[in-house]
Amino acid sequence: MQAFEYANPSTLQEAVALLAPQRGQTDVLAGGTDLISLMKDYIHTPKRLVNIKNIQELEGIRASAGGLRIGALVTMDELARNAEVRASYKALADAAAGIPSPQIRHMGTVGGDLCQRPRCWYFRGGFGLLATDNGKPLVPDGENHYHAIFGGGPAYFVSASSLGPALVAMGARVKLVSAKGSREVAVKSFFVAPKDENTREIVLRPDEILSEILVPAPAVHSATYEVRQKEALDWPLAAASVALTMKGSVVAGAKVVMGHVAPIPWEAAAAEKALAGKTITAASAEAAGKAAVEDAQPLSRNAYKVQLASVAVKRALLEAVKGKA
Amino acid sequence: MRGVGIGGGALGTGLLEKNAGAGTTPASVVGPGAVPITLHINGKPVTLTVEPRVTLSNALREHLGMTGSKRVCDRGTCGGCTVIMNGKTVYSCSVLAIDAQGKNIETIEGLAAPGQLHPISQAFWNNDGQQCGYCTSGFVMAMKGFLDEHPNPTVEEVKHGLGGNLCRCGAYMGIRKAAMEAAKAIQQGGKHG
């Protein structure tokens, strides 16, 4: 790890003033579950690290009639255990509880979950976000078992965020704060599929801090289902978060968002359309799962993910209405 | 906050603007050189001098000679470096030592008095919860953190509760048996660190 200056501010205002506007100069440290590893691998080599763990205003979950406010420093463990989240924002609680390592849940924060870098092994090996070697893309004919089945490149990594799909399905926003002021961005627009090596996979600027997540009041049944190869610590092979607005037993509106299948949380518009006016049954859930993957473009070694994503959608839908009339 | 703004001193400090002349360093910025820190390990304060880039794992093993927690993957994946910080299990390879100040850190060295075994360690012994032993101290600490919160677990809960630790020898069956036995032993009045 390259040596760095360490800053330990106690207010958000102080923290953002310590960040540089140029990329690569400074990094924000919260749980450290991703950043410390990125620094050990020299993928990030900041000259200054700004620790935000001692900033009280970034803590806490607050539920009100208007919705949920989740401070960036809330850990995945706190989110998974929160009674209000479990009762009314189940897709979020499912996603946080799905992380199989207690240590990661204890350390990892919700802000870090959204800002973590892709796990693509070419990226981690120093070949950049687009994974190229002398201009040649390495993923399409390479070790692409865990890469994207949607999006069609030039970025083939998958968004590693556990909460991203659930937050997009629920129409959540994030607050981004810099020394110049703050802005709110829909989580849907927070993630971007980079078209060139100079674009990052999230819209957060180098001198901004993600301070909180704002989730609108739940008018929905929701759930997240992850397909994993093993029960211990690993990333899902495919995941789906769903949020349903019901009219009686009939779906009035559905949001279906898949995870780990594209560089961004991937919205399945065809599945949402297939569900409108339907009751959720094994048959309608399976049909929605099929619709969700009809446009999939698997690579040479990951066609297996198409079926897993389809099943994730089906099971998330059935889970969302389980035990409910 | 004036004077540490983007146009002020913050980026005129040390490393960030090597050729731009010295600015004022905000009080909250230290390093990149070594700085004195105090850690509270197994109930005792310890002062050491480390660069901000030194992880808690390295501070314990290389600066304090406490080699009980292992450095295996060193990327927050295997659990070999697990310690307990403020009652929660963490990967010490992914915590900066400077960030661990003010926290109550428990390592395997503090689990039982010298020459004695904690009920968890004894249960590993009794149930062949290890082969090569490299993952063992991390597993023991992960199990301590888990049993502190789940004193009477089911096998299924044990499986999930230890999901953050890997054993490449595959001693999982013995480890799960050890967890069940240790839970009983602790409940029946065994010493619980």
- Shared domain for B151 and B172, answered yes or no, is yes
Arithmetic mean of pLDDT over chain B: 88
Interface test with B, best of A51, A103, A119 (most B CBs within 10 A): A103
Q: What pLDDT, on a 0 to 100 scale, did the predictor assign at position A220? A: 76
**Quick one: CA dihedral A201, A205, A210, A213, positive or negative?**
negative
Q: What pLDDT, on a 0 to 100 scale, did the predictor assign at position B2? A: 33
> Measured between beta carbons, which residues in chain A are less than 8 angstroms from residue B159?
231
Q: Is the per-residue pLDDT at B54 higher than 50?
A: yes
Cα(B183)–Cα(B180) distance, integer angstroms? 5
Residue numbers of the domain that contains B60? 35-77+90-107
- Shared domain for B66 and B126, answered yes or no, is no
**CB–CB contact A18 B4 (8 Å):** yes
- Shared domain for B95 and B139, answered yes or no, is no
Q: Is the per-residue pLDDT at A81 higher than 70?
A: yes
How far off is chain A from B108, nearest CA to CA, in Å?
Answer: 16
8 Å CB contact between B89 and A106: yes
Cα(B112)–Cα(B164) distance, integer angstroms? 23
Q: Assign residue B178 the CATH number of its domain.
A: 1.10.150.120
- Shared domain for B143 and B101, answered yes or no, is no
For A97-140, how does the pLDDT look when each residue is reduced to its tens digit (9 = 90+)? 999 999 999 999 999 999 999 999 999 999 999 999 999 999 99
Backbone angles phi, psi at B59, to 5 degrees: -60, -45
| DSSP H helical ranges for chain B | 56-58, 119-126, 136-149, 155-161, 172-187
8 Å CB contact between A242 and A222: yes
Q: How many CB atoms lie within 10 A of CB B39?
A: 23
How far off is chain B from A172, nearest CA to CA, in Å?
Answer: 29
Average pLDDT score over residue span A246-255: 94
Cα(B87)–Cα(A195) distance, integer angstroms? 44
Whether B95 maps to a domain, the answer reads yes
Q: What pLDDT, on a 0 to 100 scale, did the predictor assign at position A323? A: 76
Q: Is the per-residue pLDDT at B24 higher than 90?
A: no
Q: What pLDDT, on a 0 to 100 scale, did the predictor assign at position A59? A: 98
- Shared domain for B102 and B66, answered yes or no, is yes
Q: How many structural domains is chain B composed of?
A: 2
**CB interface of B with A, residues 19-78, below 8 Å:** 26, 28-33, 51-53, 55, 74-77
- Axis-axis angle for helices A282-292, A304-321 (nearest 10): 140
Q: Assign residue B54 the CATH number of its domain.
A: 3.10.20.30
8 Å CB contact between A19 and A206: yes
How far off is chain B from A61, nearest CA to CA, in Å?
Answer: 19
ipTM: 0.95
Sequence-distant (6+) residues with CB within 8 A of A254 are A242, A243, A244, A245, A271, A272, A275, A276, A288
> Measured between beta carbons, which residues in chain A are less than 8 angstroms from residue B93?
36
Q: Is the per-residue pLDDT at B11 higher than 80?
A: no
Amino acid (one-letter) located at A150: F
> Measured between beta carbons, which residues in chain A are less than 8 angstroms from residue B98?
6
Q: Is the per-residue pLDDT at B22 higher than 50?
A: no
For B103-159, how does the pLDDT look when each residue is reduced to its tens digit (9 = 90+)? 999 999 999 999 999 999 999 999 999 999 999 999 999 999 999 999 999 999 999
Whether B114 maps to a domain, the answer reads no
Q: Which of A186, A181, A180 is nearest to A213 (CA)?
A: A186
Q: Which 3 state secondary structure label does DSSP give A145?
A: coil
**CB–CB contact A51 B75 (8 Å):** no
Q: What pLDDT, on a 0 to 100 scale, did the predictor assign at position B190? A: 59
Whether B63 maps to a domain, the answer reads yes
Interface test with B, best of A81, A101, A109 (most B CBs within 10 A): A101
Whether B137 maps to a domain, the answer reads yes
For A271-320, how does the pLDDT look when each residue is reduced to its tens digit (9 = 90+)? 999 999 999 999 999 999 999 999 999 999 999 999 999 999 999 999 99
Q: In this complex, is the C-beta atom of B9 within 8 Å of any C-beta atom belonging to chain A?
A: no
Q: What pLDDT, on a 0 to 100 scale, did the predictor assign at position A210? A: 98
For A157-214, how does the pLDDT look when each residue is reduced to its tens digit (9 = 90+)? 999 999 999 999 999 999 999 999 999 999 999 999 999 999 999 999 999 999 999 9
Q: Is the per-residue pLDDT at B4 higher than 50?
A: no
**CB interface of B with A, residues 141-180, below 8 Å:** 142, 145-146, 159-161, 163-166
Q: Which of B161, B60, B166 is nearest to B103 (CA)?
A: B60
Q: What is the DSSP string of B109-151?
A: GGSS-TT---HHHHHHHHTT--SS-TTHHHHHHHHHHHHHH-S
> Measured between beta carbons, which residues in chain A are less than 8 angstroms from residue B89?
102-103, 106
> Sorting pLDDT into bands at 50, 70 and 90, what band is B189?
confident
Sequence-distant (6+) residues with CB within 8 A of A261 are A148, A149, A150, A158, A238, A296, A305, A309
Whether B150 maps to a domain, the answer reads yes
Q: Is the per-residue pLDDT at A265 higher than 80?
A: yes
Q: Is the per-residue pLDDT at B16 higher than 70?
A: no
> Sorting pLDDT into bands at 50, 70 and 90, what band is A231?
confident
Whether B125 maps to a domain, the answer reads yes
Q: Note every long-range contact of B158-161, with CB atoms under 8 Å and residues 24 or more positions apart, other chains counting.
A: B159/A231, B160/A100, B160/A231, B161/A102
- Shared domain for B63 and B99, answered yes or no, is yes
CB pairs under 8 A between A and B: 143
End-to-end CA distance of chain A: 55
> Measured between beta carbons, which residues in chain B are less than 8 angstroms from residue A207?
6
Tokens 């901004």: give the residue.
A208
**CB–CB contact B99 A29 (8 Å):** yes
**CB–CB contact B142 A47 (8 Å):** no
Q: C-alpha angle with apex A292: A186 to A240, nearest 5 degrees?
A: 55
> Measured between beta carbons, which residues in chain B are less than 8 angstroms from residue A81?
none
Q: Which neighbouring-strand residues pair with A242? A: A223, A256
> Measured between beta carbons, which residues in chain A are less than 8 angstroms from residue B16?
5, 20, 25-26, 47-48
Q: What pLDDT, on a 0 to 100 scale, did the predictor assign at position A218? A: 82
